Structure 1
Protein backbone atom coordinates (compact mmCIF):
# COMPACT_ATOMS: atom_id res chain seq x y z
CA UNK A 1 0.00 0.00 0.00
CA UNK A 2 1.59 3.25 -1.10
CA UNK A 3 1.53 6.38 0.99
CA UNK A 4 2.32 10.05 0.93
CA UNK A 5 4.73 11.62 3.36
CA UNK A 6 4.68 14.81 5.36
CA UNK A 7 7.59 16.68 6.93
CA UNK A 8 7.80 17.75 10.56
CA UNK A 9 10.89 19.40 12.03
CA UNK A 10 13.14 17.99 9.32
CA UNK A 11 11.94 14.40 9.83
CA UNK A 12 9.49 12.71 7.43
CA UNK A 13 6.29 12.11 9.36
CA UNK A 14 5.48 8.48 10.29
CA UNK A 15 3.14 7.61 7.42
CA UNK A 16 4.24 4.12 6.38
CA UNK A 17 3.74 1.09 4.20
CA UNK A 18 2.93 -2.03 6.15
CA UNK A 19 4.65 -5.38 5.77
CA UNK A 20 8.19 -4.25 5.08
CA UNK A 21 10.88 -6.58 6.41
CA UNK A 22 13.72 -5.18 8.49
CA UNK A 23 16.14 -5.74 5.61
CA UNK A 24 13.85 -3.84 3.25
CA UNK A 25 13.51 -1.01 5.74
CA UNK A 26 17.29 -0.86 6.19
CA UNK A 27 17.92 -0.78 2.43
CA UNK A 28 15.29 1.91 2.04
CA UNK A 29 16.79 4.00 4.80
CA UNK A 30 20.23 3.84 3.21
CA UNK A 31 18.64 4.91 -0.07
CA UNK A 32 16.99 7.91 1.68
CA UNK A 33 13.53 6.46 1.04
CA UNK A 34 11.17 8.48 3.22
CA UNK A 35 8.56 5.70 3.36
CA UNK A 36 11.24 3.36 4.71
CA UNK A 37 12.25 5.91 7.30
CA UNK A 38 8.62 6.32 8.32
CA UNK A 39 8.56 2.55 8.83
CA UNK A 40 11.66 2.87 11.01
CA UNK A 41 9.86 5.42 13.17
CA UNK A 42 6.68 3.38 13.38
CA UNK A 43 8.50 0.19 14.33
CA UNK A 44 11.00 1.52 16.90
CA UNK A 45 9.69 4.85 18.24
CA UNK A 46 7.84 3.23 21.16
CA UNK A 47 10.94 1.29 22.21
CA UNK A 48 13.16 4.37 22.06
CA UNK A 49 10.64 6.46 24.00
CA UNK A 50 10.31 3.76 26.68
CA UNK A 51 14.10 3.56 27.07
CA UNK A 52 14.35 7.33 27.42
CA UNK A 53 11.42 7.62 29.83
CA UNK A 54 12.79 4.90 32.12
CA UNK A 55 16.28 6.39 32.15
CA UNK A 56 15.30 10.04 32.48
CA UNK A 57 12.10 9.75 34.52
CA UNK A 58 10.62 12.69 32.63
CA UNK A 59 8.08 12.37 29.81
CA UNK A 60 8.95 15.67 28.15
CA UNK A 61 12.67 14.93 28.15
CA UNK A 62 11.93 11.45 26.79
CA UNK A 63 9.95 12.97 23.91
CA UNK A 64 12.82 15.34 23.12
CA UNK A 65 15.34 12.49 23.16
CA UNK A 66 13.10 10.34 20.93
CA UNK A 67 12.94 13.12 18.37
CA UNK A 68 16.71 13.59 18.57
CA UNK A 69 17.29 9.85 18.03
CA UNK A 70 15.26 9.65 14.85
CA UNK A 71 16.51 12.97 13.53
CA UNK A 72 20.03 11.70 14.16
CA UNK A 73 19.22 8.40 12.43
CA UNK A 74 17.85 10.17 9.37
CA UNK A 75 20.75 12.59 9.10
CA UNK A 76 23.35 9.94 9.91
CA UNK A 77 21.84 7.09 7.87
CA UNK A 78 25.01 6.74 5.80
CA UNK A 79 26.76 5.62 8.98
CA UNK A 80 24.59 2.50 9.33
CA UNK A 81 26.39 -0.71 8.33
CA UNK A 82 24.00 -3.70 7.99
CA UNK A 83 26.91 -6.14 8.18
CA UNK A 84 27.71 -4.91 11.69
CA UNK A 85 24.29 -5.64 13.14
CA UNK A 86 20.53 -5.18 12.81
CA UNK A 87 18.93 -1.79 12.31
CA UNK A 88 17.14 -1.98 15.66
CA UNK A 89 20.45 -2.41 17.48
CA UNK A 90 21.90 0.60 15.66
CA UNK A 91 18.93 2.71 16.75
CA UNK A 92 19.26 1.50 20.35
CA UNK A 93 22.91 2.56 20.27
CA UNK A 94 21.93 6.05 19.12
CA UNK A 95 19.26 6.17 21.83
CA UNK A 96 21.75 5.25 24.55
CA UNK A 97 24.11 8.02 23.47
CA UNK A 98 21.31 10.59 23.36
CA UNK A 99 20.09 9.53 26.81
CA UNK A 100 23.62 9.84 28.20
CA UNK A 101 23.86 13.31 26.63
CA UNK A 102 20.54 14.30 28.22
CA UNK A 103 21.63 13.05 31.65
CA UNK A 104 24.95 14.87 31.33
CA UNK A 105 23.16 18.09 30.39
CA UNK A 106 20.86 17.70 33.40
CA UNK A 107 23.88 17.16 35.68
CA UNK A 108 25.53 20.31 34.35
CA UNK A 109 22.37 22.33 34.94
CA UNK A 110 22.05 21.03 38.50
CA UNK A 111 25.76 21.63 39.14
CA UNK A 112 25.38 25.26 38.16
CA UNK A 113 22.29 25.61 40.32
CA UNK A 114 24.04 23.97 43.27
CA UNK A 115 27.14 26.12 42.81
CA UNK A 116 25.04 29.28 42.91
CA UNK A 117 22.53 28.37 45.61
CA UNK A 118 25.06 26.71 47.92
CA UNK A 119 26.71 30.09 48.37
CA UNK A 120 23.40 31.81 49.18
CA UNK A 121 22.29 29.90 52.23
CA UNK A 122 25.00 27.27 52.69
CA UNK A 123 22.62 24.35 52.17
CA UNK A 124 21.25 22.23 49.38
CA UNK A 125 17.66 21.41 48.54
CA UNK A 126 16.28 18.00 47.72
CA UNK A 127 15.59 17.78 43.99
CA UNK A 128 11.90 18.18 43.24
CA UNK A 129 11.02 20.43 46.17
CA UNK A 130 9.41 23.80 45.64
CA UNK A 131 12.68 25.48 46.62
CA UNK A 132 14.58 23.46 44.01
CA UNK A 133 12.14 24.46 41.27
CA UNK A 134 12.38 28.09 42.34
CA UNK A 135 16.18 27.92 42.27
CA UNK A 136 16.14 26.60 38.73
CA UNK A 137 13.91 29.42 37.56
CA UNK A 138 15.96 32.05 39.35
CA UNK A 139 19.28 30.76 37.99
CA UNK A 140 18.02 30.63 34.40
CA UNK A 141 16.57 34.11 34.79
CA UNK A 142 19.79 35.33 36.36
CA UNK A 143 21.87 33.95 33.50
CA UNK A 144 19.74 35.80 30.98
CA UNK A 145 20.43 39.07 32.83
CA UNK A 146 24.22 38.74 32.98
CA UNK A 147 26.45 40.72 30.62
CA UNK A 148 27.17 38.75 27.46
CA UNK A 149 30.76 37.82 28.34
CA UNK A 150 29.92 36.64 31.85
CA UNK A 151 27.02 34.56 30.57
CA UNK A 152 29.19 33.10 27.83
CA UNK A 153 32.00 31.91 30.11
CA UNK A 154 29.60 30.49 32.71
CA UNK A 155 27.72 28.52 30.06
CA UNK A 156 30.97 27.20 28.62
CA UNK A 157 32.16 26.21 32.09
CA UNK A 158 29.01 24.49 33.31
CA UNK A 159 27.17 23.39 30.18
CA UNK A 160 30.18 22.31 28.09
CA UNK A 161 32.48 21.31 30.97
CA UNK A 162 35.35 23.45 29.68
CA UNK A 163 38.26 24.40 31.91
CA UNK A 164 39.29 28.02 32.37
CA UNK A 165 42.16 27.51 29.93
CA UNK A 166 39.89 25.91 27.34
CA UNK A 167 37.43 28.80 27.66
CA UNK A 168 40.25 31.27 27.15
CA UNK A 169 41.33 29.40 24.00
CA UNK A 170 37.74 29.18 22.72
CA UNK A 171 36.88 32.84 23.29
CA UNK A 172 40.28 34.47 22.83
CA UNK A 173 40.04 36.09 26.26
CA UNK A 174 43.04 36.23 28.61
CA UNK A 175 42.93 33.53 31.27
CA UNK A 176 42.70 36.10 34.06
CA UNK A 177 39.71 37.72 32.36
CA UNK A 178 37.94 34.36 32.11
CA UNK A 179 38.44 33.71 35.83
CA UNK A 180 37.24 37.21 36.64
CA UNK A 181 34.09 36.81 34.53
CA UNK A 182 33.28 33.49 36.19
CA UNK A 183 33.84 34.88 39.69
CA UNK A 184 31.76 38.01 39.05
CA UNK A 185 29.07 36.08 37.17
CA UNK A 186 28.61 33.60 40.02
CA UNK A 187 28.47 36.48 42.50
CA UNK A 188 25.73 38.19 40.48
CA UNK A 189 23.79 34.95 40.16
CA UNK A 190 23.94 34.38 43.92
CA UNK A 191 22.72 37.91 44.56
CA UNK A 192 19.90 37.38 42.07
CA UNK A 193 18.82 34.10 43.63
CA UNK A 194 18.87 35.62 47.13
CA UNK A 195 16.79 38.60 46.01
CA UNK A 196 14.40 36.31 44.14
CA UNK A 197 13.83 34.15 47.22
CA UNK A 198 13.30 37.22 49.37
CA UNK A 199 10.79 38.56 46.89
CA UNK A 200 8.74 35.36 46.91
CA UNK A 201 8.70 35.30 50.70
CA UNK A 202 7.26 38.82 50.91
CA UNK A 203 4.66 38.46 48.13
Structure 2
Protein backbone atom coordinates (compact mmCIF):
# COMPACT_ATOMS: atom_id res chain seq x y z
CA UNK A 1 0.00 0.00 0.00
CA UNK A 2 1.47 3.32 -1.03
CA UNK A 3 1.62 6.41 1.11
CA UNK A 4 -1.12 8.01 -0.96
CA UNK A 5 -3.38 4.97 -0.80
CA UNK A 6 -3.67 5.51 2.95
CA UNK A 7 -5.65 8.71 2.23
CA UNK A 8 -7.83 8.30 -0.89
CA UNK A 9 -9.00 11.60 -2.42
CA UNK A 10 -12.06 13.19 -0.86
CA UNK A 11 -13.75 16.09 -2.66
CA UNK A 12 -14.87 17.61 0.64
CA UNK A 13 -11.28 17.81 1.94
CA UNK A 14 -9.74 19.09 -1.28
CA UNK A 15 -12.39 21.77 -1.88
CA UNK A 16 -11.48 23.87 1.17
CA UNK A 17 -9.76 27.15 0.25
CA UNK A 18 -5.99 26.98 0.66
CA UNK A 19 -5.72 29.92 3.09
CA UNK A 20 -8.42 28.46 5.40
CA UNK A 21 -6.71 25.07 5.35
CA UNK A 22 -3.34 26.70 6.08
CA UNK A 23 -4.83 28.55 9.08
CA UNK A 24 -6.29 25.33 10.48
CA UNK A 25 -2.97 23.54 9.91
CA UNK A 26 -0.93 26.19 11.72
CA UNK A 27 -3.40 26.24 14.63
CA UNK A 28 -2.87 22.50 15.15
CA UNK A 29 -6.20 21.17 13.89
CA UNK A 30 -5.39 17.47 13.39
CA UNK A 31 -8.05 17.10 10.70
CA UNK A 32 -6.18 19.62 8.61
CA UNK A 33 -3.12 17.35 8.46
CA UNK A 34 -5.13 14.75 6.58
CA UNK A 35 -6.49 17.40 4.18
CA UNK A 36 -3.03 18.91 3.63
CA UNK A 37 -1.59 15.46 3.00
CA UNK A 38 -4.32 14.48 0.53
CA UNK A 39 -4.00 17.72 -1.36
CA UNK A 40 -0.20 18.08 -1.61
CA UNK A 41 1.28 14.63 -1.08
CA UNK A 42 1.13 13.92 -4.85
CA UNK A 43 3.25 17.03 -5.46
CA UNK A 44 5.82 16.08 -2.82
CA UNK A 45 5.84 12.43 -3.94
CA UNK A 46 6.43 13.50 -7.54
CA UNK A 47 9.37 15.74 -6.57
CA UNK A 48 10.88 13.00 -4.39
CA UNK A 49 10.38 10.35 -7.04
CA UNK A 50 12.03 12.45 -9.75
CA UNK A 51 14.98 13.31 -7.53
CA UNK A 52 15.53 9.93 -5.91
CA UNK A 53 14.49 7.56 -8.69
CA UNK A 54 13.22 5.07 -6.12
CA UNK A 55 9.49 4.81 -5.39
CA UNK A 56 9.81 3.34 -1.90
CA UNK A 57 12.39 5.92 -0.86
CA UNK A 58 10.22 8.68 -2.36
CA UNK A 59 7.27 7.50 -0.27
CA UNK A 60 9.43 7.50 2.87
CA UNK A 61 10.60 11.04 2.13
CA UNK A 62 7.01 12.15 1.47
CA UNK A 63 5.88 10.88 4.85
CA UNK A 64 8.92 12.47 6.49
CA UNK A 65 8.08 15.81 4.87
CA UNK A 66 4.54 15.86 6.22
CA UNK A 67 5.66 14.71 9.65
CA UNK A 68 8.29 17.47 9.71
CA UNK A 69 5.73 20.01 8.48
CA UNK A 70 3.29 19.03 11.22
CA UNK A 71 5.92 19.23 13.95
CA UNK A 72 7.30 22.50 12.57
CA UNK A 73 3.98 24.08 11.61
CA UNK A 74 4.59 27.04 13.92
CA UNK A 75 7.48 28.02 11.64
CA UNK A 76 5.12 28.59 8.72
CA UNK A 77 4.00 32.23 8.35
CA UNK A 78 0.59 32.63 6.70
CA UNK A 79 1.37 35.91 4.92
CA UNK A 80 4.87 35.05 3.67
CA UNK A 81 4.11 32.36 1.12
CA UNK A 82 1.79 29.54 0.21
CA UNK A 83 1.56 26.34 2.18
CA UNK A 84 2.48 24.18 -0.85
CA UNK A 85 5.60 26.30 -1.45
CA UNK A 86 6.59 25.83 2.21
CA UNK A 87 6.02 22.07 1.86
CA UNK A 88 8.18 22.01 -1.28
CA UNK A 89 10.96 23.75 0.65
CA UNK A 90 10.80 21.07 3.35
CA UNK A 91 10.69 18.40 0.64
CA UNK A 92 13.87 19.73 -0.99
CA UNK A 93 15.73 19.55 2.33
CA UNK A 94 14.47 16.03 3.05
CA UNK A 95 15.37 14.89 -0.49
CA UNK A 96 18.86 16.34 -0.04
CA UNK A 97 19.14 14.48 3.30
CA UNK A 98 18.06 11.23 1.62
CA UNK A 99 20.61 11.69 -1.17
CA UNK A 100 23.36 12.41 1.37
CA UNK A 101 22.42 9.32 3.36
CA UNK A 102 22.49 7.26 0.16
CA UNK A 103 25.97 8.60 -0.65
CA UNK A 104 27.20 7.76 2.86
CA UNK A 105 25.79 4.23 2.61
CA UNK A 106 27.47 3.76 -0.77
CA UNK A 107 30.82 4.97 0.58
CA UNK A 108 30.57 2.71 3.63
CA UNK A 109 29.67 -0.29 1.47
CA UNK A 110 32.57 0.45 -0.90
CA UNK A 111 35.00 0.77 2.00
CA UNK A 112 33.79 -2.50 3.50
CA UNK A 113 34.12 -4.23 0.13
CA UNK A 114 37.63 -2.86 -0.28
CA UNK A 115 38.62 -4.10 3.20
CA UNK A 116 37.12 -7.51 2.46
CA UNK A 117 38.92 -7.81 -0.88
CA UNK A 118 42.20 -6.84 0.81
CA UNK A 119 41.57 -9.42 3.51
CA UNK A 120 40.85 -12.19 0.97
CA UNK A 121 43.79 -11.16 -1.21
CA UNK A 122 46.17 -11.61 1.73
CA UNK A 123 44.82 -14.58 3.70
CA UNK A 124 46.39 -15.43 7.05
CA UNK A 125 48.33 -18.66 6.83
CA UNK A 126 47.62 -21.21 9.58
CA UNK A 127 51.30 -21.12 10.63
CA UNK A 128 51.09 -17.36 11.18
CA UNK A 129 47.95 -17.74 13.30
CA UNK A 130 49.70 -20.30 15.52
CA UNK A 131 52.73 -18.03 15.91
CA UNK A 132 50.44 -15.11 16.82
CA UNK A 133 48.79 -17.20 19.54
CA UNK A 134 52.18 -18.26 20.90
CA UNK A 135 53.27 -14.60 21.03
CA UNK A 136 50.06 -13.63 22.78
CA UNK A 137 50.40 -16.36 25.42
CA UNK A 138 54.05 -15.42 26.02
CA UNK A 139 53.12 -11.76 26.53
CA UNK A 140 50.14 -12.65 28.73
CA UNK A 141 52.49 -14.64 30.98
CA UNK A 142 54.69 -11.56 31.39
CA UNK A 143 51.83 -9.50 32.81
CA UNK A 144 51.36 -9.06 36.56
CA UNK A 145 49.11 -11.77 38.04
CA UNK A 146 46.01 -9.57 38.50
CA UNK A 147 46.11 -8.21 34.93
CA UNK A 148 46.74 -11.68 33.48
CA UNK A 149 43.88 -13.18 35.50
CA UNK A 150 41.40 -10.51 34.38
CA UNK A 151 42.38 -10.77 30.71
CA UNK A 152 42.32 -14.58 30.70
CA UNK A 153 38.86 -14.60 32.29
CA UNK A 154 37.69 -12.10 29.67
CA UNK A 155 39.29 -13.74 26.60
CA UNK A 156 39.17 -17.43 27.41
CA UNK A 157 36.29 -17.44 29.89
CA UNK A 158 34.23 -15.00 27.79
CA UNK A 159 33.21 -13.15 30.96
CA UNK A 160 32.11 -9.54 31.22
CA UNK A 161 33.87 -7.20 33.60
CA UNK A 162 30.94 -7.42 36.03
CA UNK A 163 31.15 -11.24 35.94
CA UNK A 164 34.90 -11.08 36.51
CA UNK A 165 34.30 -8.87 39.55
CA UNK A 166 31.89 -11.52 40.91
CA UNK A 167 34.34 -14.35 40.27
CA UNK A 168 37.38 -12.59 41.74
CA UNK A 169 35.62 -10.67 44.50
CA UNK A 170 37.37 -7.49 43.35
CA UNK A 171 35.47 -4.20 42.94
CA UNK A 172 34.32 -3.51 39.38
CA UNK A 173 36.55 -0.42 39.17
CA UNK A 174 39.59 -2.55 40.04
CA UNK A 175 38.67 -5.07 37.35
CA UNK A 176 38.33 -2.27 34.81
CA UNK A 177 41.70 -0.81 35.81
CA UNK A 178 43.46 -4.17 35.54
CA UNK A 179 41.82 -4.77 32.15
CA UNK A 180 42.87 -1.40 30.80
CA UNK A 181 46.43 -1.61 32.10
CA UNK A 182 46.81 -5.18 30.90
CA UNK A 183 45.56 -4.38 27.40
CA UNK A 184 47.81 -1.33 27.13
CA UNK A 185 50.82 -3.34 28.26
CA UNK A 186 50.00 -6.18 25.86
CA UNK A 187 49.60 -3.76 22.97
CA UNK A 188 52.97 -2.14 23.70
CA UNK A 189 54.71 -5.52 23.99
CA UNK A 190 53.20 -6.87 20.80
CA UNK A 191 54.01 -3.67 18.88
CA UNK A 192 57.62 -3.82 20.09
CA UNK A 193 57.87 -7.44 18.91
CA UNK A 194 56.39 -6.54 15.50
CA UNK A 195 59.06 -3.90 14.91
Runs of 4+ displaced beyond 3 Å = 12-16, 119-122
1:96-147: per-residue Cα shift (whole Å, max 9, x none)? 000000000011011111111123337xxxxxxxxxxxxxxxxxxxxxxxxx
TM-score by length of 1: 0.51
1:25 and 1:37 in contact (8 A); partners too: no
Q: Does 1:116 align with 2:115?
A: no
TM-score by length of 2: 0.53
1:17 and 1:35 in contact (8 A); partners too: no
2:7 and 2:38 in contact (8 A); partners too: no
| Structure 2 unaligned spans of 5+ | 1-5, 119-195
Shift of the alpha carbon at 1:60?
A: 0.8
2:65 and 2:91 in contact (8 A); partners too: yes
Which residue is 1:51 aligned to?
A: 47
State the secondary structure of the residue aligned to 1:83: coil
Q: Does 1:21 align with 2:17?
A: yes
2: distance between equivalents of 1:111 and 1:57? Answer: 19
1:149-182: per-residue Cα shift (whole Å, max 9, x none)? xxxxxxxxxxxxxxxxxxxxxxxxxxxxxxxxxx
1:29 and 1:77 in contact (8 A); partners too: yes
Taking a change above 3 Å as real, the CA distance of residues 18 and 57 of structure 1, as seen in their structure-2 partners, is closer
Shift of the alpha carbon at 1:18?
A: 4.1
1:53 and 1:59 in contact (8 A); partners too: yes
| Structure 1 unaligned spans of 5+ | 1-11, 123-203
Which residue is 2:94 aligned to?
A: 98
Which residue is 2:137 aligned to?
A: none
CA RMSD of superposed structures (Å): 2.2
